[in-house]
Amino acid sequence: MFDSESPGASHLSDDTTGNIDAVQRCPRHQPDHFIIILRIHTFDAFSACEFSQTRMNIVVDNGNTSTKVGIFDGDNLVDHRVFHSLAEVKDLLEATEADNILVGSVRHDPAEILSFSTATRKFVLDHRLPLPIQNHYKTPETLGVDRVAGVCGGLQLFPGFNTLVIDAGTCVTYDLIDAERNYRGGAISPGLRMRFRAVHEFTARLPLVGVPDTISLWGDTTETSIQSGVCYGMIAEMEGIISAHQQEFGNLKTVLTGGDAPTFENRLKASIFASPNLVLIGLNSILNYNVKR
């Protein structure tokens, strides 16, 4: 069975870009050691936050299935929300004062989202916006803004390291930024739910199933066999790609993010860092880079 206590994942703080707040666990072949630092922040609304004299930023990640909004005091993420309708995003942005805003969107018109905000400086993340990295992608106009933000988030967390960013969302993306800030490119494969749907939709009789809390290595029903094959297949894919990058690039950091990251973060043998707000952190680093220009 999958073991929820399997080592390998370290959790990066949700509220800052430079500290590890939750539990860091050593790789599987080492004894378990834990470093726990607990911090509690409570915010009833963005407008209720108290900020220092640093600039206040809002970043919007308008993805395929939801929209994340993050508010930063300088480099520190002090609050974030997830929305499933543009009307909710509009209400929040209209009610929140900010100095700067950046929108990265793969779904709605980013200009429309920007129009909801009264921020002084407004930016849209597209292939024309200057970045704090060297982009070697041959078709930058087709590169997803979530992938760009992810590697910039990886750079923000681990400057000076070769960093592999795995975003387990609608699709699973793998992106590499090297220690010299060069974005090398990456890979795209079907996401978890897409794989379950493919098994169902491209066969005559196999059912559509979801992900249970525990999955046996060998399924003893058709449903559990599908769950085992899909989930262990994704684990093998992730571990294989991590291993290939470790062989190619020394001193590698691996960061896991995305909606399905919790399914895998404690089930990989490789040492990884789990950062649920990596894309927001990356968007904020891009925003700060452009504000300072």
**Do 262 and 19 form a contact (C-beta atoms < 8 A)?**
no
Euclidean distance between CA atoms 258 and 167, whole angstroms? 5
Q: Which residues of 86-99 are buried (b: 16+ CB within 10 A; e: fewer)?
A: beebbebbeebebe
Give every CB contact of residue 186 below 8 A, 6+ residues apart in sequence: 147, 165, 173, 174, 175, 176
Asked about 146 being catalytic, the answer comes back as yes
- Residue 231 identity (one-letter amino acid): C
Beta strands in the chain (DSSP E): 9-11, 23-24, 35-36, 56-62, 67-73, 76-83, 100-105, 121-124, 134-135, 162-168, 171-177, 182-190, 252-257, 272-274
Residue with token string 């999958």 = 2
14, 73, 146, 167: which is the annotated catalytic residue?
A: 146
For the chain, the residue count is 293
Q: Which residues pair with 61 in a beta bridge?
A: 68, 104
Those residues whose C-beta lies under 8 Å from the C-beta of residue 108, and which sit 6 or more positions away, are: 62, 86
Alpha carbons 289 and 293: distance in angstroms, whole number: 7
Alpha-carbon span 92 to 101, nearest angstrom: 13
Backbone phi, psi, residue 31, to 5°: -60, 155
Query: How many Å apart are CA 264 and CA 43, to the nearest integer?
Result: 29
Instruction: For residue 234, give both structure tokens.
Output: 């994704």
Q: Which residues are catalytic?
A: 146
